[in-house]
Amino acid sequence: MEIRSLFMPLLLSVTLVACNKPPQMPQNTEQTDVSVAVAGDPAAALIEPGTDYHSFANPDEIKVTHLALDLEVDFARQILKGQASLQFVRMEEGASELVLDTRDLAIDSVTVEGKAVPYELGEKDPVLGSALTIQVPAEADVVTIDYQTSPDASGVQWLTPAQTAGKQHPFLFTQAQAIHARSFIPLQDSPQVRMTYQATIRTPQELLAVMSASNDPDTERDGEYHFNMPQPIPSYLIALAVGNLEFKSMGERTGVYAEPSVLEAAAQEFEDTEAMLMVTEKKFGHYRWDRYDLLILPPSFPFGGMENPRLSFITPTVIAGDKSLVSLIAHELAHSWSGNTVTNATWRDLWLNEGFTTYLTYRIMEMIYGEKREQMEFVLGMQSLESDIEALPEQDEVLAIDLRGRDPDEVFSDIPYEKGALFARELEQKVGREAFDRFLMQYFEHFAFQSITTDTFVQYLQDTLYKEHGDKLSWDRINQWIYEPGIPAGAPVAQSDAFARVDNARAMWLAGEIPAADIDTQDWNTHQWLYFLNNMPDELNKEQLTELDNAFSLTQVGNNEIAHSWLLMAINNWYTPAFDRLHNYLVSIGRNKLVKPLYKALSETPEGKAFAKKAFEEAKSGYHPLTVKANEDFVN
């Protein structure tokens, strides 16, 4: 069988890629030739914008438009079993092969109107999985696949009762972004394919199923749940969770699902969600998804949050008791505009999703919590970006990144997020907030329910903002932001007065001018604590760490982000009094962003590595497959 993807040959060429600068955009509105040369090697293949190098599917020939799922959730065998019916349209007349993505699926049959049709499951690629090629009869426009998932499906985590808050019932959740939907549904797993979906999910009777679709909070708990997603969405936004879940309303259109013991705290922590929704739609256009609910997952959820439409999936590690980490909610909500309404067409274009979302997050935080808080979060974001840039190879500092031959899971950094947001902030500062807000609102409207490439965005920018404000913008500079590494000189600078006081206190303490206990930290918030710790010198001695710990009880701190910063300092300076907490932290949290830097720092010394290995072995069975994959190499 012919494998359409260019993935395999490109595995060889990836190390040659240094830069993927496109031709200069001419000053007209015609679509330009957008093939992108690979610097340094004229023979290397061009990147074709819009080609999804992470899917076997053939949407240019036959495109799936609707999915009907009927799945049974079998906790004993840790499988999903049932059928997926895919409705499709022919993009090329007479096209007769439908190519789908799968990973570790067992296919029982493929039928059209009850009659078996020929299909072939291709060889497994370690990153992409296996192509499923179906011969479709000329008159057919729906195929039905009977299948089951593997207990090791990369996009599904099965939790035992012991791994949940309530300890009584099992739990299941999916995480499809970037290319894991194919591990639980055979489909065209490419963000440029949008489909509506409906689903029937069969669960043990006492559990509730929720999906990234219409959820009825008052549905009867009878083990059979029905869902409908009437807007066309990309496959990475299909999501399912099953557990002992309850619902609490937070506002007219917002509410939270969680295990009973977490529900109240979550609803309080996130009570500003409705206000966030209202200010965002006022500025950037109406909310197109009906309800916006949150689902609080067990602590093994590998991300902070995931913007599954109508129902963002959220880590419980941000329930701090003081709303200090709720920018996560602003972020996932903002994806309802940038990401879910206007979607990246390929993973190269991820910065369109994450960069504009991060920009909107700052704006939402400013509108709800004020300028001071926004400034602090901006400074912390920039510091995190700078430290990423120090560590990244140049080709990974590019917004429109070349991901050919690579696993998108392994290329995760602040570049699409903070560099993308900084670019948006610069555009805002150049043309003025009012004009930029108008541009964004029109952008979401213009491309609503479409998946677009960087190149389409660039063309749109040229036809709109640049056309009106060409005197204030430079096209070379725009290209530099998108296609070159690093941060252009003269980019917006983050500054916070609230942090100046913290700098002062830190400097005086380091100089031995005041003891830690005399620093006036009474009114410090979480951001100030993070800034205080994150900007300590790399090396501190045992006396200094002991003094900080005695003065501020840092080893016992409840806030998971502050604890993370402190534990990282403890590892780097081998401050063992914090190591019980460290062990406990590593085995009870599975959010990769919080545990990976700790494992990494530990694995730099033999003693640290032994400690890491022990924690990892203990935690592994409770970690999500993504967290296992992201850490197992350097821990072992």
Quick check: 552 and 521 in contact, CB under 8 A?
yes
Which is closer to ligand BES, CB of 58 or CB of 627? Answer: 627
Number of residues that bind Zn ion (CB under 5 A): 2
With CB under 6 A as the contact rule, the residue among 257, 337, 356, 417 that binds ligand BES is: 417
**What does DSSP say about strands 106-112 and 97-102: parallel, antiparallel, or unpaired?**
unpaired
Which is closer to ligand BES, CB of 407 or CB of 484? Answer: 407
Adjacency order of strands within the sheet including 115-116: 115-116, 106-112, 142-148, 79-90, 62-74, 194-202, 224-234
Residue 459 touches which of Zn ion, ligand BES, none (Cβ within 5-8 Å per kind): none
Angle made by CA atoms 616, 620, 622, in degrees to the nearest 5: 130
**Residues numbered 301-360 forming contacts with Zn ion, rule: CB under 5 A:** 354, 357
With CB under 6 A as the contact rule, the residue among 50, 82, 255, 304 that binds ligand BES is: 304
185 binds ligand BES (CB under 6 A): no
374 binds ligand BES (CB under 6 A): no
Quick check: 295 and 307 in contact, CB under 8 A?
no
Residue 155 touches which of Zn ion, ligand BES, none (Cβ within 5-8 Å per kind): none
Query: Residue 330 and residue 363: Cα distance in Å, rounded?
Result: 9
Q: Which residues contact 194 (CB under 8 A, 6 or more apart)?
A: 65, 232, 233, 234, 343, 449, 450, 451
332 is catalytic: yes
Q: Which stretch binds ligand BES (CB under 6 A): 327-335, 384-392, 506-514, 596-604?
A: 327-335
Query: Residue 331 and residue 191: Cα distance in Å, rounded?
Result: 20
Angle between helices 371-391 and 350-369 (to 10 degrees): 150
Which is closer to Zn ion, CB of 340 or CB of 573? Answer: 340
DSSP state of 338: B
List, as one string, the DSSP characters of 115-172.
Answer: EE--EEEPPPBTTTBEEEEEE--TT--EEEEEEE--TT-TTEEEE-GGGSSSSSS-EE
Tokens at residue 277, please?
């929704």
Residues 328-357, one symbol each (x = binds ligand BES by CB under 6 A, - = not), give x--xx--x------------------x---
417 is catalytic: yes
Residues 587-606, one symbol each (x = binds ligand BES by CB under 6 A, - = not), give ------x-------------
Which is closer to Zn ion, CB of 340 or CB of 559? Answer: 340
Q: Which stretch binds ligand BES (CB under 6 A): 11-19, 94-102, 149-157, 305-313?
A: 305-313
Quick check: 371 and 433 in contact, CB under 8 A?
no
| Residue number closest to ligand BES, CB atom | 304
Active-site entry in 119, 369, 417, 460: 417
**Residues numbered 349-368 forming contacts with Zn ion, rule: CB under 5 A:** 354, 357
With CB under 6 A as the contact rule, the residue among 75, 227, 292, 303 that binds ligand BES is: 303
Minimum gap (Å) between residue 356 Cβ and Zn ion: 10
Query: Residue 247 and residue 216: Cα distance in Å, rounded?
Result: 10
With CB under 6 A as the contact rule, the residue among 143, 266, 306, 376 that binds ligand BES is: 306
Query: Residue 295 and residue 277: Cα distance in Å, rounded?
Result: 16
Q: What is the torsion angle, in degrees rounded to the nearest 10, for the CA atoms of residue 468, residue 471, residue 472 and residue 476? A: 100
Number of other residues whose CB lies within 10 A of the CB of residue 388: 18
Q: Is 107 helix (H, G, I), strand (E, B) or coil?
A: strand
Residues 265-284, one symbol each (x = binds ligand BES by CB under 6 A, - = not), give --------------------
Residues 553-592, one symbol each (x = binds ligand BES by CB under 6 A, - = not), give ----------------------------------------
Judged by phi (left if over 0) then psi (alpha if -120 to 50, else beta), residue 536 lies in beta
305 binds ligand BES (CB under 6 A): yes
Tokens at residue 253, please?
């259109």
Minimum gap (Å) between residue 63 Cβ and ligand BES: 23
CA-to-CA dists, residue 510 to 552, 553, 557, 587, angstroms = 16, 18, 22, 33
Q: How many residues does the chain have?
A: 636
Active-site entry in 259, 269, 307, 332: 332
Minimum gap (Å) between residue 441 Cβ and Zn ion: 20
With CB under 6 A as the contact rule, the residue among 25, 47, 57, 178 that binds ligand BES is: 178
Minimum gap (Å) between residue 354 Cβ and Zn ion: 5
Tokens at residue 236, please?
């990475």
Residue 122 touches which of ligand BES, Zn ion, none (Cβ within 5-8 Å per kind): none
Residue 328 touches which of Zn ion, ligand BES, none (Cβ within 5-8 Å per kind): ligand BES
Which is closer to Zn ion, CB of 190 or CB of 340? Answer: 340
Tokens at residue 82, please?
């049932």
Minimum gap (Å) between residue 328 Cβ and Zn ion: 9
Number of residues that bind ligand BES (CB under 6 A): 14
Which is closer to ligand BES, CB of 417 or CB of 611? Answer: 417
Minimum gap (Å) between residue 520 Cβ and ligand BES: 30
Which is closer to ligand BES, CB of 335 or CB of 506? Answer: 335
Q: Which of 160, 207, 163 is nearest to 300 (CA)?
A: 163
- Could you check whether the bond before residue 178 is cis, i.e. omega within 30 degrees of 0? yes
Strand partners, 63: 89
Residue 292 touches which of Zn ion, ligand BES, none (Cβ within 5-8 Å per kind): none
**Residues numbered 511-540 forming contacts with ligand BES, rule: CB under 6 A:** none
From the number of C-beta atoms within 10 Å of its C-beta (0-12, 13-18, 19+), residue 55 rates as buried
Q: Which stretch binds ligand BES (CB under 6 A): 83-91, 155-163, 301-309, 484-492?
A: 301-309
Minimum gap (Å) between residue 364 Cβ and ligand BES: 12
Which is closer to ligand BES, CB of 354 or CB of 426? Answer: 354
Strand partners, 248: 256
Residue with tokens 């009584």: 168
Angle made by CA atoms 376, 305, 349, in degrees to the nearest 5: 85
With CB under 6 A as the contact rule, the residue among 102, 148, 157, 177 that binds ligand BES is: 177
Which is closer to Zn ion, CB of 293 or CB of 354? Answer: 354
Q: Report the interface residues with Zn ion, using CB under 5 A.
A: 354, 357
Q: Report the interface residues with ligand BES, using CB under 6 A.
A: 177-178, 303-307, 328, 331-332, 335, 354, 417, 593
Write out the catalytic residue numbers.
332, 417
